[in-house]
Structures are given as C-alpha cells and as structure tokens.
Amino acid sequence: MDDIHYREYKILLRPERFFDPHQFEVYWHKLCLIAAEFKVGVTTNKDAFKRQVREVLFYDTPDYDLYRQSFILRKRTFYTDGWPEPQHELTFKFRHADLETAASIDVTPHLHGSANIKFKEELLPLKDSVGGMRSLYSHNCVLLTPGLVLDEGLERISTVFPTLNEHCPAQKGSPVSLVNNLPVEEVQVNVGLFDFGHEFEAKATLSVWRDRPTETTIIGEFAFQAKFDRYDAVHAKARIRSEEFFKAVQTEASEWVQLGATKTALVYSFGQKAAVGHE
C-alpha cells in the first residue's frame, strides 16, 4: 500500500472560461492539437461530453486541524438525472510534497467493509509560472457509504482512522463540520484517453467546481491519470513524453491556466477565513 500505482497530472483552469458547456469541447480540441505535436495518441470517448454531476463536501474542525496536518476528509455524492444515488464515496487522504512522509502514513480504516487504498503521485504546475512541474504524494482511502456521521466530532473520526490519534491528539474533542459552509457542485466529463507509448496510457477528465448555493464557478480542472503495476517499470520515454505534454499544455494554452495550489486549497481559503495550506 506504500508503492505508487497512479500518476495523475492536474492543471487548474480559469473559472471564467467555462461560461457554457461547449467550452469543454473547445478546450479538448486545443488539447488534441497539442497532443499531436508530441506524438501523443488521443482517443475521444463516445460520450465524451456527457456531463456528470456530483456534490463534494469537505469536513474539518473549526481551526482546520486536519488540513494543517496534511489530511483531507471529503464526501462525494453522485447524481443521476438530478437525483442523488443511494451510495456515496468517502475519501480520507494524506497529501504531502515528501514521498517518504506520505508513504509512512497508514490510512487504513478500522471499519467493517472494503476499503480501496491508493498511493498516487500528483503532478501540478508551479505555483507562480506556467511550463513547470512539481509533485505531491497522496495516500488515499476510499470507502463506499460507510456508517460514519462526519459531524460527530474528531474523536469519533479518529476511531475510524486511528492515524489521527498520533497526528491530531490535542484536538480530539473538537467538533467537525463542513469547511467554510461550502457545498461544491462538481460537473465532470470523462473526455478520453492519452497514449504516450510503451503501454503508458492515461484517462482524461475535465471538470468545473461551483459554489452550489450561488452556482458561481470556483475553478476548472484538466486532469489525466495513469495506472501501473510498478512505478519503476514505467518506460522512461513514455514518462518524459507525458511530462513534456503536461508542460506544453500550460504554455500553449496559457490563457486557460489558473496558477495556484489545488481545488481543495481553494475551498479552504474560500471566503474570509484563509487556511494555512500545505499544497
């Protein structure tokens, strides 16, 4: 569980670019042209622009004790034809810029049922300029519809994720609630697949996050993710091509790029209370 099996490349996109649904297609067309320059194969899905709607909620203490210790607690609810599905997804993750630190955190839950543990390398642009690249490493635990009430307080959550007993012991009695009272509406399209050669492929998505009460767009994101059995088995030429493509998307479509941190960091800094971020 401490071996990297995913590499995800993410670029934040300016919210004002997504003034109508057609903009997903406009940006995808730009990506396809850039991919051709770098001999990256592109497959566009049959239902590439069918929009999926989800509600995304982040939970933390009033002082953001989880986030300050590099933990993220997120609930995601899926909608079909405007109605919430009975199952929801709970993600508990530890994200850090240091590989060994991220690998050392055990996110295994003490809860009945199956847990999907994922260890990812996330590639992001530099915070202050386009054309660069930096890494964050995230250890994720994904649970489907766990019997955990998130506003019962940090002590209850710590019984499910015992690593918090070590990293947030002084805050165990703190209440937990929705971060910045901000429910996020996520609209996502699963646009297609990039082929970087040597069996290194990545699924691509485009998404927009909105402030649900006002329907104001907070941020957009382009992402593509590759899965593999062994990190050191990824072919060097394919890895380099994926990184060159990632940098070129930033520079050749710079008018779309929103520099900064991550979508999560934007939620935590939403409104008047700014969080001290680790991302």
Model confidence at 274: pLDDT above 80: no
pLDDT tens figures, 53-106? 999 999 999 999 999 999 999 999 999 888 889 889 999 999 999 999 999 999
- Residue 147 inside a domain? The answer is yes
Going through the chain in order, the beta strands assigned E by DSSP cover 6-13, 41-44, 52-60, 71-80, 83-96, 116-124, 134-144, 177-178, 184-195, 201-211, 216-227
Radius of gyration of the chain (CA): 19
Contacts of 79 (CB under 8 A, 6+ apart): 52, 53, 54, 55, 85
pLDDT one-digit tens code per residue, 183-218: 999 999 999 999 999 999 999 999 999 999 898 999
Assess if residue 277 is contained within a domain: no
Give the pLDDT of residue 126.
Answer: 96
The answer to whether 22 touches 265, Cβ cutoff 8 Å, is no
Q: How many domains does the chain have?
A: 1
Q: DSSP strand E in 83-145: where?
A: 83-96, 116-124, 134-144
Residue 239 falls inside a structural domain: yes
> Can you give the pLDDT at residue 107?
95
pLDDT of residue 275: 55
Average pLDDT estimate for 154-169? 91
Note down the domain range covering 151: 6-268
**Would you say residue 130 lies in a domain?**
yes
Mean pLDDT of 151-171: 89
Q: What is the pLDDT of residue 1?
A: 57
Report if residue 273 sits inside a domain: no
pLDDT surpassing 90 at residue 44? yes
Contact 135, 102 (CB under 8 A): no
Structural domain contains residue 23: yes
Q: Is residue 206 domain-resident? A: yes
Q: Do residues 37 and 248 lie in contact, with contact meaning Cβ atoms separated by under 8 Å?
A: yes
For residue 209, tell me if it sits in a domain: yes
Look over the chain and give the mean of its residue pLDDT values, rounded to a whole number: 93
